[in-house]
Amino acid sequence: MTESGGWQNDGGRMMSVPVLVGERWVVPTVSAWGSVFNPSLGEEIARVPMCGAAEVEVAVQAAAAAFTTWSKTAAPARAAKMFAFKAQLESHFEELAALITRENGKTLEEARGDVRRGIEVVDFACGISHLCKGETLPQVADGIDGVTMREPIGVCAGITPFNFPAMVPLWMFPIAIACGNTFILKPSEKVPLTAVRLAELFLEAGLPPGVLNIVHGGREAVDALLEHPGIAAISFVGSTRVAEHVYVIGCRHGKRVQAAGGAKNVMIVMPDADLDATTRAIMGAAFGCAGQRCMAGSILMGVGDAAPQVRDRLAAAIDKLVIGDTSANPKADMGPVIDSASRERILRSIELGVAEGAALVRGGQHESQSRGFFVSPTLFDQASPGMHIAREEIFGPVLTMLRPRDLDEAIAWANRNPYGNGAVIFTNSGGAARQFAREVQCGMVGVNVGVPAPMAAFAFSGWNRSFFGDLHVQGIEGVMFYTRQKIVLSRWDNAYRRTQGW
Ligand code: NAD
């Protein structure tokens, strides 16, 4: 590895993104490099080293060395680092949001939400002294007291996707580190810049060297993390295909694994719904972040009269959407997708929808006014549950409308979906909402809420093929994932009492 002392200007042309091992920012000597783009412009803005086993080895050594001291650091002292990190994030809030917009392409407003949701997890981790407390049962047996304690598990690793460059890494490492673990983050190679900046801010907040490390890359780096005997736990967020791979290989190597995958989230509109509020919520859920959210609403089920009404309102709202360069145009409502491969994949899905006979109401094409990776917001109607566009995660600005007979049929269709992140209903009927919440087979349910978004105080409860593992990210489940329980049974005879003849 070459010591860089920070960012490396490679021959005066392109920024090379460094890894973080211990206290050193280093540009590793690797044979393969990836490209980081500004998706609004379709321009390469940095190059990222595609790390492998050698770089992972160095990071594990740094994290393991730091674990010896960090795991013994008092809980309030660990919490103090979280408070300082939170202050750093608040004071660099706008800078982080702008960086996310630059490398991911989402609007500035969406990028602010990305940072804010992440800060809320740091806020949660500030309470670690309380969150890590155990339980006691005096006299669990005659003369014996029982106490439980939660202890850190060692070096943990996190592998994250491109769509939330700040929030998803922040779901993981603040809680893991607050619990007394050390951490290796492998951010998406498509958006490594935000992760690097988060780590810089944490170090500036006084985090000891080696507690947080960063490596970059794709499958090779991930497999090295999954197979390394020095890593105790893996947190993964990304597509279902890779989540399953991470779960299987990580478990085979004796690690605890939490692996969150893709989704196909359903939105049901009942005839009694408030259609103006519902249309606004659906527009945000379907086209926010250009549809690149694991909680994006991508299937719309209009029940009865709701179907034609909501379709017409959505078509009118789509016509008003401003699509454009999110770095330059603060009025843009929707930005590009992440790269040209995503754009081509989304356009192919749209072609399949047309070929299978769904009615294309709006969109369907590449937005040609720019060199960026744009796809126009697309609405299909009259689709059927077996079609590609109703079954597969498209991960782009494509909304597919089905017309179930009634709520029973809508729930039955929703439950044929193999994923299980989220589903929402729009209605004014408590009975319909209750039936839906009880019968729908997924972990995050919304009632008159477009996106039942993950909140730091709760776990993000994906089900079915949207999650592999047991304990989910965030909330108390996150604390349990990053700690293991010790049960101490103690018998203390009172020797002094005996010597006194009591
Ligand atoms: P992805 O699965 O392609 O990549 C995720 C991570 O895995 C990245 O760090 C990437 O480098 C790595 N990776 C990619 N291919 C790999 C391989 N073959 N072997 C090992 N590692 C590999 O996902 P993405 O395109 O970055 O993100 C979009 C996906 O993430 C969507 O499916 C979306 O639904 C999902 N997602 C899920 C959640 C959730 O909480 N369930 C949240 C955000 C995104």
Per residue in 369-397, pLDDT (tens digit) is 678 999 999 999 999 999 999 999 999 99
The pLDDT confidence band at residue 5, using thresholds 50, 70 and 90, is: very low
Q: Choose the weakest-confidence range: 2-16, 21-35, 264-278, 447-461.
A: 2-16
Residue 397 CA to residue 326 CA, distance in Å, equals: 16
- Percent of the chain at pLDDT above 70? 96
**Helix boundaries (H) for 191-305:** 192-204, 219-227, 240-252, 275-287
SS3 44: strand
Question: Which two structure tokens, joined as six digits, stand for 470?
Answer: 């047991």
**What's residue 365's pLDDT?**
75
> For residues 86 and 119, is the Cβ–Cβ distance under 8 A?
yes
Ligand 1, atom 9, residue with closest C-alpha:
188
Active-site pick, 132, 156, 179, 294: 294
For residue 393, which atom of ligand 1 is closest to its CA?
Answer: 32
The pLDDT confidence band at residue 4, using thresholds 50, 70 and 90, is: very low
In this predicted model, what pLDDT tens digit does every residue of 439-482 receive, in sequence order? 999 999 999 999 999 999 999 999 999 999 999 999 999 999 99
Distance 261 CA to ligand 1 centre (A): 7
Is 188 close to ligand 1, i.e. is its CB under 6 Å away?
yes
Whether pLDDT at 335 is above 70: yes
Ligand 1, atom 42, residue with closest C-alpha:
294
Residue 338 CA to residue 291 CA, distance in Å, equals: 11
Note if 132 is an active site residue.
no
DSSP structural state of residue 207: P
**What's residue 502's pLDDT?**
62
Ligand 1, atom 22, residue with closest C-alpha:
219
Query: Quick one: average pLDDT of 266-288?
Result: 98
For residue 262, which atom of ligand 1 is closest to its CA?
Answer: 34
Mean pLDDT (the chain) is 95
DSSP structural state of residue 457: T
Query: Quick one: average pLDDT of 44-72?
Result: 98
Residue 324 CA to residue 65 CA, distance in Å, equals: 47
DSSP structural state of residue 371: S
Whether pLDDT at 17 is above 80: yes
Whether pLDDT at 9 is above 70: no
In this predicted model, what pLDDT tens digit does every residue of 81-102 receive, in sequence order? 999 999 999 999 999 999 999 9
Ligand 1 pocket test, candidate residues 162, 194, 337, most atoms within 8 A of CB: 162
Q: Choose the weakest-confidence range: 58-72, 469-483, 486-500.
A: 486-500
**What's residue 219's pLDDT?**
98
The pLDDT confidence band at residue 237, using thresholds 50, 70 and 90, is: very high
Q: Which of 234, 260, 251, 248 is nearest to 463 (CA)?
A: 260
Residue 423 CA to residue 440 CA, distance in Å, equals: 8
- Percent of the chain at pLDDT above 90? 93
Query: Quick one: average pLDDT of 285-297?
Result: 98
Domains and CATH numbers, the chain: 54-261+466-487 (3.40.605.10), 265-447 (3.40.309.10)
Is 436 close to ligand 1, i.e. is its CB under 6 Å away?
no
Is 218 close to ligand 1, i.e. is its CB under 6 Å away?
yes
